[in-house]
A and B are shown apart, each in its own frame.
Chain A
Amino acid sequence: MRVSTATRWVEGFGAGALVGLLSLLFPADPAFRALGFLPQAFAPVITASLLGAVPGAFAFLGATLATLALPLLAGLLGLSGFDAVGFQGARIPAALSLLCALAAGALRDSYSRSTKRILLRFRDLTRSNVQLRKMNLALSGLTEELERRVSGQRDSVSSLYARIRKMDSLDMDRVLSGFLDAVVAFSQASSAAVFEYDHEAKRLVCVASLVKGAVAPPQAEEALDLEGSIEGWVFRNDSPFSLRNVDDYLNLAGVDFKRSVLSYPLRAGDLPWGVLNVREMPFYRYNPVTEKNLGIVVELASSYIKKAADFRDRVLSHPRNAITGLPGYGELLRILEGELDRRASRRLSVSVVIVELIGFEEMAFAHSGLKAFGLLKDFAETAVSAAGGRAIACHYRVDGQLAFLLPDIDRDGASLFCLSLSGLGSDGLMRIDGEKACVEIAFGLAAFPGQAGAAAAAGDAEALLAEAESVLTLSKRAYTEHGGSCP
């Protein structure tokens, strides 16, 4: 309970006066000489100790006034024999009492102020503690919400980067598969198709499609005319199409737009290449943000499409082995010459790795040529995959030999590539008739520009292959000398 200052003064004065009037009860010895102390002198000290210096002073005043009024009151009350003489020697105790009261009051006030300060601080700390607890609780909820939002974020930059990296391949199927994966990730499209422009037939041919949200082989021979389809319109005008803008294009009248929600022209580098057509996607994902994101994916895909399209034109147009689908030695030479020509002036790297599966002929004899070549094909695919889709696989001079061209990879990169292939034979990853095929692998490698002879250093394809061959011969000799690990 809070007591006001004036009340405490009155209380002090009252206490002093009450003790002062105590002498009326002892008229024979009002100054308590028999006891040896004067209660009136103690009252201010006790009051000051309890209530403070000022109430103590008021208690002194009350006690003094009451003591001075004692003879008069005794007369009024008819107290006979009241002896006030004993108070004559009380000046010194009174003065001491006042001094002690003031000192005790000052001490009490100081203690009280300090206690009050501590209490105030404690109150503030308690309040801020409660506030902090509330903030902590709110922050905990906020952290959880943010975590959920970030976890659920499907179109982050890092996610975009991961998807785009999947397109980095020379194999057009892999590029388009990665591209459609990115389209699904950023639009949740359940049906879409990629069309490539066939300049001979002057039609758009479906080369990859998305069915029920998963990449699927393209519909058999699906082709569209440039006139009369949204895809054709998009290709001809090199402009994206969005369903909501269908009324904005008068020249779209009569064109069936029910097969398209979004459509984007695809470019290989700076040249028109084909069209992406999104046929079905959830309504709630069809918004400008998704359109913009798909535009970014399309833009970023163009360099990968160009790389794969160039590779296809350079490499895959050559005659290929019927079983493995790989170009032969003659084509290898032409492809290597082309790659060197393109890089020679800028001294960019091209590496060649020749791989020989030792014991291939025995394997072909034990099983069948078809199965042995099937194994060779699997090996080539795994190797290309190990190079991140950037290696070009070809047959070499004899059966069981493969050559891998590694554009833009130097000798160190080629050595790492060899290292990654060396485990394939012993890890049991190569199988024939369902059984582990124990195959030893010999490598030969050469790189341009390198420390090879003048011809190879100048970018001569045959010299480069000869250098790789000599390393292969050394490798085989080492194998023969140390003996193979296969039984």
Chain B
Amino acid sequence: MTGFEYVRAMRRLYNPRTPRAAMVAAEAGLLPVEALVYKSSSVKPLFEEPYDLDELERVLAQRDLSFGDAMMLAEILTTMTRDSDKERALFAAESLTTLENRWAGKVERIRAAAEAADRPYRLARALYEQALLAGRSAPIRNYYLLEAYYILCQLPEAGSPGPVFDLLIRCLVRLDLLDQAQAEIDGASAGGNSGELLALTVEIAFLRRDVGRIRSLLAGRDLGSLGLDPDLLEVLRSWEG
């Protein structure tokens, strides 16, 4: 079956919703392999308007929904709550509640879990994520951020650079406590040259519109050796030119 033959016949065949489903169907012999090619090349960005409710619902229903995907959904759904079509706006509001409830459930599960060495950090991380998801309401967001901050403060690792310290600084930045965040970074013990910490310091300077400080922080640095996320590395490199 050629690709075009499949396209002509596809109405009569099983219609997979995702490329992955098409692949499984092709493996099982239910569909020709052209179905996978067609489905893979027909993926539509979730951000494209008009928003595809079925697709949003499918992503929302994923059991192992990542935080990045959840943030993306939250952004789209928040925009949709302003839709002039009341049914779509209602769908968006309900979906947002579902999303927030899932993270609230995650926080509760971690709270109820047996005492473990990394439990406080995981709890603070979940609270931080919940704060960002509930970003529409500043008081709720700040409440979760503060709770995460207080949990992190009690950890012995909070004074030295590492994941706990990075998260603590992120909480302060999101709370708009830039001076305190900068003071914490300055007061941290040696070893504060990690990529994450540098990016956070640059972000604080950016939020203060302190271009001179950003340039001095990045001057002479070998950014490639810091092991940063490629997108973040690109952002920092753009300040070098």
Interface residue ranges, A against B (CB under 8 Å): 136, 139-140, 143-144, 146-148, 150-154, 156, 158-159, 162-163, 166, 185, 188, 213-214, 243-244, 246-247, 257-258, 283-284, 286-289
Residue among B18, B20, B45, B209 making CB contact with A154, cutoff 8 Å: B45
For B203, what are the chain A residues with a Cβ–Cβ distance below 8 Å?
Answer: 283
Given A244-B239, A283-B206, A284-B231: A151 touches B43 (CB 8 Å cut-off) = yes
- Contact (Cβ within 8 A) B36 A143: yes
Residue among B36, B69, B82, B239 making CB contact with A214, cutoff 8 Å: B82
For A258, what are the chain B residues with a Cβ–Cβ distance below 8 Å?
Answer: 209
For A158, what are the chain B residues with a Cβ–Cβ distance below 8 Å?
Answer: 44-45, 48
| Contact residues of B between 33 and 80, Cβ < 8 Å to A | 36, 40, 43-50, 55, 59, 68-69, 72, 75, 78
Given A148-B69, A151-B46, A163-B49: A243 touches B20 (CB 8 Å cut-off) = no
For B179, what are the chain A residues with a Cβ–Cβ distance below 8 Å?
Answer: none
- Contact (Cβ within 8 A) B40 A284: no
A474 nearest CB across to chain B (Å): 35
Q: Is B108 an interface residue (CB 8 A)?
A: no
Q: Is B234 an interface residue (CB 8 A)?
A: yes
Q: Is B189 an interface residue (CB 8 A)?
A: no
A424 nearest CB across to chain B (Å): 16
- Contact (Cβ within 8 A) B45 A153: yes
Name the interface size band of chain B. Answer: 35 or more
- Contact (Cβ within 8 A) A162 B82: no
Residue among B23, B44, B75, B211 making CB contact with A246, cutoff 8 Å: B211
| Contact residues of B between 191 and 214, Cβ < 8 Å to A | 202-203, 206-207, 209, 211-212, 214
Q: Is B94 an interface residue (CB 8 A)?
A: no
12 pairs of residues in contact across A and B, judged by CB atoms under 8 Å: A143-B40, A151-B46, A152-B46, A153-B45, A154-B45, A156-B45, A158-B45, A159-B47, A159-B48, A213-B78, A244-B214, A288-B238
Cα distance A322–B69 in the bound complex, in angstroms: 49
Given A136-B27, A288-B238: A159 touches B45 (CB 8 Å cut-off) = yes
For A144, what are the chain B residues with a Cβ–Cβ distance below 8 Å?
Answer: 19-20
For A214, what are the chain B residues with a Cβ–Cβ distance below 8 Å?
Answer: 82
- Contact (Cβ within 8 A) A152 B69: yes
A159 nearest CB across to chain B (Å): 5
Given contacts A143-B20, A144-B19, A152-B46, 4 further A-B contacts (CB under 8 A): A152-B69, A159-B47, A283-B207, A286-B235
For B72, what are the chain A residues with a Cβ–Cβ distance below 8 Å?
Answer: 152
Cα distance A151–B40 in the bound complex, in angstroms: 11
Q: Choose among B43, B59, B231 the residue with the greatest number of A CB atoms under 10 Å from its CB.
A: B43
For A286, what are the chain B residues with a Cβ–Cβ distance below 8 Å?
Answer: 206, 235, 238
| Contact residues of B between 100 and 132, Cβ < 8 Å to A | none
A155 nearest CB across to chain B (Å): 8
